[in-house]
Amino acid sequence: MMVSNKGSVFRLLLWQKHSALLFALAGTIAAALWHVFEWPWLKLPATPLTVIGAALGIFVSFRTNSAYDRWWEGRKLWGRMINESRHLCTQLVSYLGPDAKETRALVRRHAAYVHALRIGLRQQSLSEDPDLPRVLDDDLEWLTSQSNPTHALLQKQMDALAALNAAGAIDDRRMQSLDLTLRELVNIQGGCERIKKTPLPRGYGFIAERLILIFTFAFPYVVVQQLGWLTVPTTVLVGLSFALISEAGRVLEDPFTMFWNGLPLSNISTMIEANVMQRIDEPMPEIPTVDRDGILM
């Protein structure tokens, strides 16, 4: 996630270089037809394009707002993950004691669960992640064979807690409290998976992209008589205004991507690991910070 203002107009144009070149071509063609080939009849009235532009702005903004809602919901879900992780660790340490081997196994497995959820949402490889082996006490090959590795880890957590309850180490009231915490983790995971696996309807993006192209190629013929060759940069500016709003919606649609707009899941999951490991006096990892480009992963 970008957390600083280190961007520049050049980087913005580089990100949208294909659209910028296309819009420049549209303005150049209009200016050339008017001034070089002297086709003054290629002029469009401003009123219809004004109406189309207003409608396009509303449509593109609606898509971007809907995408931001998804991004913000993802952040709230991971905020709940932070809270529930700390709460679960507090429960385990208080109920079983910080030095009990069962406490350490359960806390370490939870840290592995958080990393595994981050890996799954980013569609990365469990076997290639550098953070998971640090806290995973279970067999990695077994975990990678599961259709839903995070659910498999939660199942192991529940099995271990049920065994402690049967042995009398955890009474029924405390077991019920732990069960509610694990259920909340399942709900958080389900919310994240719903966002990841249910993109916005493609029609929103398709219609927005086509309307932007139509509007941008028609726009130069409205202003070319007044602006002359300044039509070219003006067309690029107007076209990019719509295109960038539309692209902001596209990249916000998936809050768990590795792109610069994605949520800083590496930072959050490692922070959770550090928080819970400190409670059982185990070494804490180094939490990722903002890189030189102002990106927090």
Give domain status of residue 207, yes or no: no
Residue 110 domain boundaries: 70-200+262-292
- The CA distance from 201 to 178, in Å, is 38
pLDDT at 225: 81
For the chain, the domain total comes to 1
Q: What is the mean pLDDT of the chain?
A: 87
Least confident of 80-94, 109-123, 134-148: 134-148
Residue 2 β-bridge partners: 295
Helices (H) and strands (E) in the chain, counts: 12, 0
- Statement: residue 8 has pLDDT above 60: no
- For helices 265-279 and 46-96, the axis angle rounded to 10 degrees is 10
- The CA distance from 244 to 206, in Å, is 15
Read off the pTM.
0.85
- pLDDT by residue (tens digit) across 174-210? 999 999 999 999 999 999 999 999 888 777 778 888 8
Give domain status of residue 211, yes or no: no
- pLDDT by residue (tens digit) across 30-57? 888 877 766 666 777 878 888 888 888 8
In the chain, what percentage of residues exceed pLDDT 90?
47
pLDDT at 41: 64
Question: Taking residues 110-115, what's their average pLDDT?
Answer: 96
Give domain status of residue 99, yes or no: yes
Give domain status of residue 40, yes or no: no
Q: Which amino acid belongs to residue 72?
A: W
Give domain status of residue 42, yes or no: no
pLDDT at 249: 79
Give domain status of residue 84, yes or no: yes
Question: Taking residues 9-23, what's their average pLDDT?
Answer: 73
- pLDDT by residue (tens digit) across 256-283? 988 777 889 999 999 999 999 999 999 8
Give domain status of residue 54, yes or no: no
- The CA distance from 228 to 242, in Å, is 22
Give domain status of residue 236, yes or no: no
